[in-house]
Structure 1
Amino acid sequence: MSDADWDDAGWDVVTDLLLVGSGGGALCAALAARAAGDQVLVLEKTDQIGGSTAMSGGVLWLPNNPVSRAAGVSDSREDALRYFASVVGDAGPSTSPARVDAFLDAIEPMVTFLSGYDLRFRHCEGYSDYYDDRPGGKARGRSLETDLFDCTELGPWRDKLRISEGMPPVPMYTGEVATGTMPTTAAGARTAARVAGRFARATLTRRQVRGSGAALQGRMLRALLRAEVPVWTSTPAVDLIVEGGEGGAGGEVVGVVAERDGRRIRVRARAGVLLDVGGFSHNARMRDQYGRAPASTAWTSANPGDTGEMITAAMRHGAAVDLMDEAWWIPSSVLPDGKPQFAVYERSKPFAILVDESGARFTNEAASYMEVGQAMYERNATVPAVPSWWIMDSRNRRSYVWGTTPGGINPKEWLRSGYLKKADTIGELARQCGIDPAGLEATVERFNRHAAEGRDPEFHKGERAYDRYYGDPRVQPNPCVGPVERAPFYAVALYPGDVGTCGGLLTDEHARVLSTDGAPIAGLYAAGNCTASVVGRTYPGAGASIGASFVFGWLGAHHAHARARRRGDADTAVGGAAVPNGVGPTDLPAASGVASARKGDHG
């Protein structure tokens, strides 16, 4: 392109790398670009930072990572490739060998880099791969989390960090969740005491200590503030700016049109634009057009900003998409107040089963949430299974947490509204749910016959390490299987909810968005749930979506930096005197070991 094409005149803001969205991939890309000396700007359309990552368990699935190896996990690139081949397979271009190789090769340098920003990664011991029984699978797991984080360290930015209403406000690690769901056990009691002590100390010292996604994204946000990366909230991007053609026909993305403080602005990105804007879980029109049916925005637990506008904007400019019918499915109930509540650890507990409208079981209830969600749709093609029904006996309901409600507590509103069904017999419970009574009675009788011996010959519940992670170790020989036989019996309707869609823009091994003719769209990168996933139609381990988002954000930032340097375009950005978004510059001290950064605008 000519020099005139890159004239800074006519732009409201000029930067090198522009991040649209504030998920894990965007924040990782921002740090990588800033460390390389680039000017960086993050635009977030909502008033809070962190995306669905901040609302999640905050775990990253990263095969052959240095933290897990240091903890004694025996892993290798070869094992990781075997696992990808046996679990992910070939789901199309998003799972190409080049993308898988790039993902695996970037993990070690990315983890090492982020560790220099005080991320404090730790191995999630025992949080196994979801298919540890497949070649290359690891029963000890490949997932990382961070240390707990005191959100008050963010200063005036604390209230801008997105906190999930569904995540406990208490400071817990992933390994404590498993025992914490069984408060009547000795291990559960110890966990409760430990977490309560932590919470009490934090309260007395006026700290806001968090775990899960809030800890991960809180640490990432702190790192950005220390590096003086400007982050603008309430600033949605509404379109891409393309020069020199359209998409795959030779056009180049040189910036975006955004809305800020009630007016439209043009933001130029000399090195590139990277989208990490989430999927379209909350966009009913897009779900109807692309997704599986039946579905409802009422069932999703995704970030409320997941509405898909920038995916469609990229498509207008020639971007290719794939896996648009797929999501990170997670069986979910809908509480009386209309809020969805996903079921993860609940499905691994004994004395309960999942059935369709005919009363038949159709899957291993303790399997990966994505696998069970897909099974609900597959079953529904022949037998009504949306909703499916979680059937519990009195031991299950008395002993285990349901969502955040302790066992033995059945709120009156649950029973009054019909959210929780209760009956003295299996047949009566079936009639209340609209299930075939004879079918459910036959299923329970057949299941109980084997469950008394701790076996599930039909669906093998409890045979994988992941199944047992949330099981009850007091129940032997299978911590996930026990007869459904003690009255009263209970039932809750479960729907194929999700925590985000996972189909979207096709990207290559450098995170470049591809056009419909297969060529990269110059200047446009993407990561996270707005892209077709590198793990395809599977969820291989805890934090697979977040791990991939971070890695492809990292890869995109490095490619954009190298591309701009080759062209000589990404010198110090000029212009861009944007008004801070209601929050003044941070006074946090610089982090040791972090590359010095130019001063930028904050908002």
Structure 2
Amino acid sequence: MVETVASLSGNESFDVVVIGAGGAGMSAALFAAIDGARVLLVESTEYVGGTTAYSAGTTWIPASMHMASVNRDDSQATAEAFLNRAVGARSSAAMRRAFLDAGPKAVAHIEANSDVKYRARPFHPDYLSELEGSTLCGRALEPLPFDDRKLGRAFALIRAPIPEFTVLGGMMIDRDDIGHLLNMTKSLASFKHAAKLLARHARDRIGSPRGTRLVMGNALIGRLLYSLMQRGVTVLTRTTVEALHTGKRGVEGLTLAQGGERRRVSVTGGVILASGGFNRHAARRADMLPGADAAWCPGAPGHTGNAQDLALAAGARFGEGALSHAFWAPVSVRKRADGTTAVFPHFLMDRGKPGMIVVDASGRRFLNENTSYHLFGIAMQEAHRTRASVPAYLVTDSEGIRKYGLGMVRPGGKGLQPFIDDGYLTQASTLDELAAKLGIDKTGLADSVARMNRYAETGVDPDFQRGTTDYQRANGDANWTGPNPCLGPIAQAPFYAVRLYPGDIGAATGLVTDTNARVLNRDDQPIGGLYACGNDMQSVMGGVYPGPGITLGPGLAFAYLAGRHAAARAASPEAGHADAREETRAQTS
């Protein structure tokens, strides 16, 4: 299955070639293989999985086969109306409809024909829950845990999760596991669950560098890789695409490079771009994400935009009109002992909990801490135009850090000294001392804390309306005894803070495609044999983040459309001639 460029013959031909082995690319390769295509999957890094392997693996697919298990009241029409309100003119309504139509079909098809399996989260609200048509559950799917021992030696191909998201030296845990581990001394059921996890991990570490029970994004990638192996898909890692070659049918081949070896391969159905987007493309990043340091990006290293450059040279174009060119999250940064940099996304474990506030250099709050991570990142950048809000400072007290942790600092309130010593965590006996150590205004900080302490008593935040939507309250503390699960006092010394930066977690702007994921040229005509999905494709969400998994959901849906269309094109030469005629009409019009 895993081969080298040197092992390819000089006249190798594939039905479908997929560039990029993240969640979307692997799904596209699998859909094409299920339809009988001979598939080559090309990955530029040494691992498969991309940023999907780092993620929670949540996949936003309304009206899937799993919806009824948690929500019988939702529908595709309701989801479409919700997206119309959330996204509006920032993306094509036809593209959103194509996503909504294809999503449930993609889930059913991949589950029926592979080892990829999903389940619906029983409670996972849409992020814009204040909008009509939002739901509390049913749209967010997650992959079932996967036993990577099925992969044998191929397990080493999977990109490991962010180390700071694991425990005990490589044990992966999901949302349910976290709850059980935190309550293992309070609940017999949680104790049994935690004991089973710990026993499994202890056995794993005897012969494995990390745990073999994969969850979240790693589970999805493990299931995809196992399914691709079962289908005989050829995988090349550490391989770059140097050129696309066009002919009468459009894109008919490409040149691959690995080390000092190069091979030109032909393709009959099409090339699917799923390389992860532009986020590490130096020139495009400077143009599209000014002021956002690449060191703040928590994504995997493969999304260089090189594949998109080849598409642009072939006549493709980037989309326009998105709310933002990227999706965002607040991140904190720490140098690891081995010299590498840890970039930790603050999705939900700390900033929205009681006893937490975020302030700028003036010591003042400037946003709703419980807003979605995407809107949080945008708000940081917008505020920074007129005030010093990058970095921002996430502040709590001893009770907050004990109950919820703070970024890379885990709950419990122990083992803080290494984080304090290297400057990741700032500790102080008083708020004035904390402000001095952070270099922020002490009067502003004292006032912000005093205000929050009053709001914790009333349950009302008149400044930023924190805790007023279902989504915000879901990210608070369900066991909080105060009137608002998102608002709590900051009063117990010592006090703590970490610095936050806006980190881009994925591209929203990408190549323009049609409803079959075919890349369009500057005249809105398909470029024969060229497709895009995942973050290489212009997001159907228009740079808006309506709910959990709105990158992986469209990634799966358009991988389904691209993979099957390309496979059909390989099986039917007439489909290729139709593409060529469309392109010819565009060039002569």
CA displacement, residues 120-152 of structure 1 (integer Å, 9 cap, x when unaligned): 311111111112221110012411112211111
CA displacement, residues 3-44 of structure 1 (integer Å, 9 cap, x when unaligned): xxxxxxx96321111111112222222222122222111111
The structure-2 alpha-carbon separation of the partners of 1:27 and 1:546, relative to structure 1 and needing over 3 Å to count, comes to same
Note the 1:448-487 alignment, pairs <5 A. 448-475=453-480, 476-487=482-493
Deviation at residue 294 of structure 1 after TM alignment: 1.6
Q: Whole-Å Cα distance in 2 between the matches of residues 552 and 40 of structure 1? A: 17
Note the 1:247-262 alignment, pairs <5 A. 252-260=250-258, 262=260
Deviation at residue 478 of structure 1 after TM alignment: 1.6
Structure 1: runs of 5 or more not aligned: 1-9, 245-250, 571-603
Note the 1:96-135 alignment, pairs <5 A. 96-116=92-112, 117-135=114-132
| Paired residues of 2:171 and 2:201 also in contact (CA < 8 A) | no
Deviation at residue 182 of structure 1 after TM alignment: 5.0
* Larger CA deviation: 113-122 vs 469-478: 469-478
Report whether the alignment pairs 1:492 with 2:498.
Answer: yes
| SS state at 2:513 partner | coil
Report whether the alignment pairs 1:351 with 2:365.
Answer: no
- Per the alignment, residue 339 of structure 1 pairs with 342
Q: Whole-Å Cα distance in 2 between the matches of residues 182 and 330 of structure 1? A: 25
The structure-2 alpha-carbon separation of the partners of 1:88 and 1:432, relative to structure 1 and needing over 3 Å to count, comes to same
- Per the alignment, residue 15 of structure 2 pairs with 16
- Per the alignment, residue 41 of structure 1 pairs with 40
| SS state at 1:265 partner | strand
542, 551, 567: which one aligns with 2:557: 551
* Larger CA deviation: 460-469 vs 475-484: 460-469
- Per the alignment, residue 247 of structure 1 pairs with none
| SS state at 1:321 partner | coil
| SS state at 1:384 partner | coil
- Per the alignment, residue 144 of structure 1 pairs with 141
AA aligned to 1:484 is: I
CA displacement, residues 205-240 of structure 1 (integer Å, 9 cap, x when unaligned): 777111011111101111111111111212221222
AA aligned to 1:308 is: G
AA aligned to 2:43 is: E
AA aligned to 1:333 is: S
Deviation at residue 115 of structure 1 after TM alignment: 1.2
Q: Whole-Å Cα distance in 1 between the matches of residues 295 and 180 of structure 2? A: 28
- Per the alignment, residue 271 of structure 1 pairs with 269
The structure-2 alpha-carbon separation of the partners of 1:183 and 1:366, relative to structure 1 and needing over 3 Å to count, comes to farther
CA displacement, residues 466-523 of structure 1 (integer Å, 9 cap, x when unaligned): 2233322221322211022222211111000132222221222111112223222111
Q: How many residues align?
A: 549
| Paired residues of 1:124 and 1:175 also in contact (CA < 8 A) | no
- Per the alignment, residue 170 of structure 1 pairs with 171
Report whether the alignment pairs 1:200 with 2:199.
Answer: yes
- Per the alignment, residue 567 of structure 1 pairs with 573
Deviation at residue 282 of structure 1 after TM alignment: 3.0
| Paired residues of 2:55 and 2:216 also in contact (CA < 8 A) | yes
- Per the alignment, residue 224 of structure 2 pairs with 220
The structure-2 alpha-carbon separation of the partners of 1:192 and 1:543, relative to structure 1 and needing over 3 Å to count, comes to farther
| Paired residues of 1:48 and 1:160 also in contact (CA < 8 A) | yes
| Paired residues of 1:240 and 1:253 also in contact (CA < 8 A) | yes
**TM-score relative to the length of structure 2:** 0.88
516, 521, 524: which one aligns with 2:530: 524
AA aligned to 1:144 is: L
The structure-2 alpha-carbon separation of the partners of 1:336 and 1:567, relative to structure 1 and needing over 3 Å to count, comes to closer
Report whether the alignment pairs 1:240 with 2:238.
Answer: no
| SS state at 2:458 partner | coil
AA aligned to 1:170 is: M
Structure 2: runs of 5 or more not aligned: 1-8, 577-589
Deviation at residue 452 of structure 1 after TM alignment: 1.6
Q: Whole-Å Cα distance in 2 between the matches of residues 420 and 180 of structure 1? A: 26
| Paired residues of 1:126 and 1:139 also in contact (CA < 8 A) | yes
AA aligned to 2:521 is: S
Deviation at residue 430 of structure 1 after TM alignment: 1.7
- Per the alignment, residue 431 of structure 1 pairs with 436
| SS state at 1:241 partner | strand
- Per the alignment, residue 420 of structure 2 pairs with 415
- Per the alignment, residue 599 of structure 1 pairs with none
- Per the alignment, residue 381 of structure 2 pairs with 377
The structure-2 alpha-carbon separation of the partners of 1:202 and 1:486, relative to structure 1 and needing over 3 Å to count, comes to closer
| Paired residues of 1:60 and 1:145 also in contact (CA < 8 A) | yes
Q: Whole-Å Cα distance in 2 between the matches of residues 327 and 427 of structure 1? A: 37
Query: Percent of aligned pairs with the same residue?
Result: 36
- Per the alignment, residue 6 of structure 2 pairs with none
| Paired residues of 2:181 and 2:190 also in contact (CA < 8 A) | no
- Per the alignment, residue 537 of structure 1 pairs with 543
| SS state at 1:57 partner | coil
AA aligned to 2:217 is: G
Q: Whole-Å Cα distance in 2 between the matches of residues 115 and 569 of structure 1? A: 27
| Paired residues of 1:512 and 1:525 also in contact (CA < 8 A) | yes
Report whether the alignment pairs 1:362 with 2:384.
Answer: no
| Paired residues of 1:366 and 1:480 also in contact (CA < 8 A) | yes
Aligned Cα RMSD in Å? 2.3
Report whether the alignment pairs 1:209 with 2:213.
Answer: yes
The structure-2 alpha-carbon separation of the partners of 1:195 and 1:142, relative to structure 1 and needing over 3 Å to count, comes to farther
294, 315, 328: which one aligns with 1:297: 294
| Paired residues of 1:284 and 1:296 also in contact (CA < 8 A) | no
316, 321, 340: which one aligns with 2:318: 321
Deviation at residue 78 of structure 1 after TM alignment: 1.3
